[in-house]
Structure 1
């Protein structure tokens, strides 16, 4: 028996049966080498199959050489994929999971930088993200694309996969561009009427089914809402889905949202409502008899069961939730749903891909690194030791948990009254409240182990005597000297004139102590990450009028990696934040700040300022580490090493705990 009977129930999927309703949807990993899958891929997919996913759609693979946004893309049209598929299928099938490929083409939503080939599209309309003029596809080009999908299906069959999910109709990719009158301006057999706009898709479906035969699954990835003016909306997609089902060629439809005009409809960060896509999904599903896969920030098994009960979907599609916890399904269906590591909507998984690094998770260090950091195969310590962890932030908590699971006797010191460190401060901003799930989950895991936790205790050298090893996770303290990175010679001397005044504070002081700030506040952000945006948001929540000053060309440019910079900028503008870019502060007085334009040298003064908050990164709290010296085995992690990101602290806590 399970608390989620529908979620755990099998369902027919074309000629095969899925053992439950949990479906891992396709997402990039950058584990690809030479356009082929790797041993790391096998470990990644096996972890999710073993963890309870009934169906896995592997990451989107190029159906033609013209769709290569970066080198880490598998080529589905390459016969070298056959033995790769065979290895993957054998490993995944061992756990009763169905494995599908996903050939696709990005169309105009890519660039020609990586492969040196022109961007192909049905019409010469550039993408708003890549802004490259596409080549208008000829009849010969269209035939090449159809053949690429055919080959992709053939190699999937020869490689022993269970089926193919034809992609390109969702997220604004090539086949979506053909289907939508907003992006298809053709006047030949592949443009104009709905029938003609559908033609390329119909021909691809026919080609793929011919290769797959009746014994393999074939599905499609469609949008249920393009989400932009002139695009296809839920009723339009319902009509299209019904036409595709009527061919008798497909066994299921997987639905999503959005195009690159608004990528937050595809993979939104918190605080987007869980299940936000499912009303549109239900509109499409109402026209169909074949199973429907639905997605849209489904992260909780109770929510998933409710959506199934309401009939909004037949399969629960998840990507980021299964990046966060590979054992999501096994935990949910075995009565341990409360132990699922929650997806907190941080989109660190997207940021890693943006940086051309393998997929990662903000608080699952094993994601993409299953071969070396699999949580379920943690080796016990050869010799249990007495280990102390100093600092109860996410890095220290992770270190303590892994140390205890390996059999060490662990003591954890935390100077404050609550575990969680800076994560709890950042979660004070309305858009970041889900972040608290990171440390709440870790706190619960510490409760599962026999760990001596000492709160409200600032550890000293004397306290650490008698321990065999020490992990220093004491975090960092925000800087407030007022100089940008453009003035490195100033960092070791006096602060910016006025930066030492009592109404000037670092972001860490603001978020931890909630001082009185007044009605007009300057945020000076030199980092360009999320810290400045969260600080500004939190101040507006407290009723302040915020003036956001940065030496960078735009506020918080690093949010381009998580794809939500537009969403965040819009939120802050609606809250009344005024931005000043390309500026550095030159002076702070008790009631004003003066700033200088970096490129013209002109100065401007903002008056009636009651507080100034500096977002300049942090100074590592490493005094205890240096005081210990070589007297004991010591490991320095997280912000105590250098102020960085949550995922760095958690990963380093895990690595340190595995070394001891």
Structure 2
């Protein structure tokens, strides 16, 4: 192991609880021990994931947050005694790993609860609202400190919780913590004065307008969180550890308005001066650790950093806070292990929080300890599998129901939290399988086939493996994507998979009756009907190095177009975005944490954005467009980049497909990296 990493593997204490190392798995919805958005029960899939992480050298493990009052079916978490009995039977197996387990408990989401179109219908129709109340009481589960707008929907506002309801929650925290202690759990974490969840909404002045004992003064705003820890200590004893998930600074300009790194703004939430006071106050109330980052749901990219956010984005604020408390402090948010180790050695923080990297590779800590870092499958911070709650103009949370119910999956690892259907099953009939196309889909299929015992052979027409992912990972800030590409290429070598580069296949009949996987990707959608289209540079050509001028019009405001515009601006160019829809990145599967960063970044840095605008003509020095009313206007530019999407390009069309052929990746249907990898895995398992 690299000596620079050694501080990560030193012991420490939270209250009386000794932790073997400084690596903390921070909670992610979906990795729950008692189920997620379903009737509470001991969840075997969640337990298996937690156990795998513990076996692979995490020191402190926090499963996904458990609402003290279940949004589905309205159960209090303490009501199902059997699941605590099941947990008690499992805890000895967990403790064999040497790790410690804190269960994270939350009062709920309040105005941050993610509203779907279905929920809007349930709420706005009085009859359906009454009918659905036993299953999903939106009036209760969206209630906040005061009346407030929901983060996702204007149709489901939040009312204020009553004092009686608040006290019912406090009692429930105590009862639940006691049951967890009796089951052998090492501690609990309260979620949260953090991320703009319900407890945080009580602390934040822009949300909490109460005039009773749970509002108004500083002590009133923090009273809910204080009385929770006091009740837990009363029920469980002063030596039972209670951590608090804590946002140091809200980084929020207002409702649905975040503050970007480096932005000069007026903080409406918790600024650092209040945070110093609050941290000390919460320590004195009885909290034994602060598990820290920044942000709210209004500034979601701080708590769930996309690839555009700086690495270690919360570290400086957390380290500054550490000086004002005497309890351990953990920092999370795009943490680099070596930077974390240095911060621990200096005493700036006590532990380092990691989350999504465990989804991409639950064994990453073990691999790092053994000097096998090249074998770690990297998280690319896409949120496509783990947290793809998306939002754009005109819709609430535009997410598939299956994704809403199954968080904490991983775009780059099809097995994560899905081992009931995604697992390597050795074949009883090994055979040679032809793969045409060496992009990510082709390589994933080859990897799984080889692990099963087959003999995959890749034919790639270009001189390198990677396909369109080479262009997709080309922007300066996409180092994690390039790491994933390097990981796949390394797997091909380690598994000794036969690869033929510079070999274009035009006729599959040469392979006879062999099984064939077609992974030939997609081709750009060309705007052939636009006069002057020949002057445009296709997005992938730009990403592969095509030169552009100073002022660049990017036609297409989806994710690819916006990322290109962002890259152009980072390089000092002057991008202009032209988009036919009424919002940027109005597409499923792109997490709001990712999309809101880009939208707000373009606003802050005054990147011109023309929505509901149609390209009409392209000239050498300008483009001609029409607005939503049909009015024609020109935009001066030196270059034009076309980002109009892609069209499947299968070598063999569906009508000509034989029984021995299957498709993976974009040649079947254009999607994202998750759809490519998961389908490749599933096709490879069927053969």
Shared fold, TM over 0.5: yes
Matched, 1:330 2:376: no
Aligned partners of 1:655 and 1:170: how far apart in 2? 38
> What does residue 302 of structure 1 align with?
338
Alignment of 1:204-223 (within 5 A): 204-213=228-237, 216-223=240-247
Equivalent residues of 1:15, 1:214 under 8 A apart: no
Aligned partners of 2:548 and 2:181: how far apart in 1? 64
> What does residue 279 of structure 2 align with?
241
Matched, 1:152 2:200: no
Matched, 1:504 2:536: yes
Aligned partners of 2:494 and 2:634: how far apart in 1? 53
Q: Helix, strand or coil: the match of 1:265?
A: coil
> What does residue 315 of structure 1 align with?
351
Q: Helix, strand or coil: the match of 1:245?
A: helix
Match of 2:651 among 617, 623, 644: 623
Aligned partners of 2:92 and 2:653: how far apart in 1? 48
Alignment of 1:596-611 (within 5 A): 596-598=626-628, 600=629, 602-606=630-634, 611=639
Aligned partners of 1:516 and 1:166: how far apart in 2? 52
> What does residue 487 of structure 1 align with?
none
The range that moved more, 251-260 or 466-475, is 466-475
Going from structure 1 to structure 2, the CA distance change for 1:55 and 1:541 (only over 3 Å counts) comes to closer
Equivalent residues of 2:506, 2:651 under 8 A apart: no
**Pairwise CA distance, 1:313:** 1.9
> What does residue 38 of structure 2 align with?
34
Q: Give unmatched runs, 5+ long, in structure 1.
A: 482-494
Match of 1:120 among 143, 155, 166: 143
Alignment of 1:162-561 (within 5 A): 162-213=186-237, 216-228=240-252, 229-247=267-285, 249-298=286-335, 300-354=336-390, 355=399, 356=401, 357=403, 358-359=406-407, 360-374=409-423, 378-461=424-507, 465=511, 468-481=514-527, 495-498=528-531, 501-512=533-544, 514-519=545-550, 521-525=552-556, 529-540=558-569, 545-558=574-587, 561=591
Going from structure 1 to structure 2, the CA distance change for 1:316 and 1:160 (only over 3 Å counts) comes to same
Q: Helix, strand or coil: the match of 1:283?
A: helix
Aligned partners of 1:545 and 1:255: how far apart in 2? 37
Aligned partners of 1:596 and 1:78: how far apart in 2? 60
Equivalent residues of 1:301, 1:337 under 8 A apart: no
Q: Helix, strand or coil: the match of 1:450?
A: coil
Q: Helix, strand or coil: the match of 1:371?
A: coil
The range that moved more, 360-369 or 570-579, is 570-579
Equivalent residues of 1:36, 1:84 under 8 A apart: no
Going from structure 1 to structure 2, the CA distance change for 1:93 and 1:580 (only over 3 Å counts) comes to same
TM-score, L = length of structure 1:
0.86
**Pairwise CA distance, 1:290:** 2.8
> What does residue 18 of structure 1 align with?
19
Equivalent residues of 2:25, 2:58 under 8 A apart: yes
> What does residue 488 of structure 1 align with?
none
Going from structure 1 to structure 2, the CA distance change for 1:365 and 1:87 (only over 3 Å counts) comes to farther
**Pairwise CA distance, 1:257:** 1.0
> What does residue 80 of structure 2 align with?
79
Going from structure 1 to structure 2, the CA distance change for 1:280 and 1:608 (only over 3 Å counts) comes to closer
Aligned partners of 2:560 and 2:487: how far apart in 1? 22
Alignment of 1:561-576 (within 5 A): 561-573=591-603
Going from structure 1 to structure 2, the CA distance change for 1:216 and 1:183 (only over 3 Å counts) comes to same
Q: Give unmatched runs, 5+ long, in structure 2.
A: 124-135, 253-266, 391-398
**Pairwise CA distance, 1:75:** 5.4
Match of 2:611 among 581, 587, 611: 581
**Pairwise CA distance, 1:625:** 6.4
> What does residue 53 of structure 1 align with?
58
The range that moved more, 232-241 or 268-277, is 232-241
**Pairwise CA distance, 1:145:** 2.2
**Pairwise CA distance, 1:588:** 5.0
**Pairwise CA distance, 1:2:** 6.7
**Pairwise CA distance, 1:466:** 6.5
TM-score, L = length of structure 2:
0.83
Going from structure 1 to structure 2, the CA distance change for 1:91 and 1:235 (only over 3 Å counts) comes to farther
CA RMSD of aligned residues (A): 3.2
**Pairwise CA distance, 1:250:** 3.5
**Pairwise CA distance, 1:423:** 1.9
Matched, 1:108 2:108: no
Aligned partners of 1:22 and 1:157: how far apart in 2? 22
Going from structure 1 to structure 2, the CA distance change for 1:173 and 1:82 (only over 3 Å counts) comes to same
Report the count of equivalent residues: 631
Q: Helix, strand or coil: the match of 1:635?
A: strand
Going from structure 1 to structure 2, the CA distance change for 1:332 and 1:60 (only over 3 Å counts) comes to same
Aligned partners of 2:215 and 2:30: how far apart in 1? 34
Matched, 1:614 2:629: no
Q: Helix, strand or coil: the match of 1:553?
A: coil
**Pairwise CA distance, 1:133:** 4.4
Matched, 1:634 2:667: no
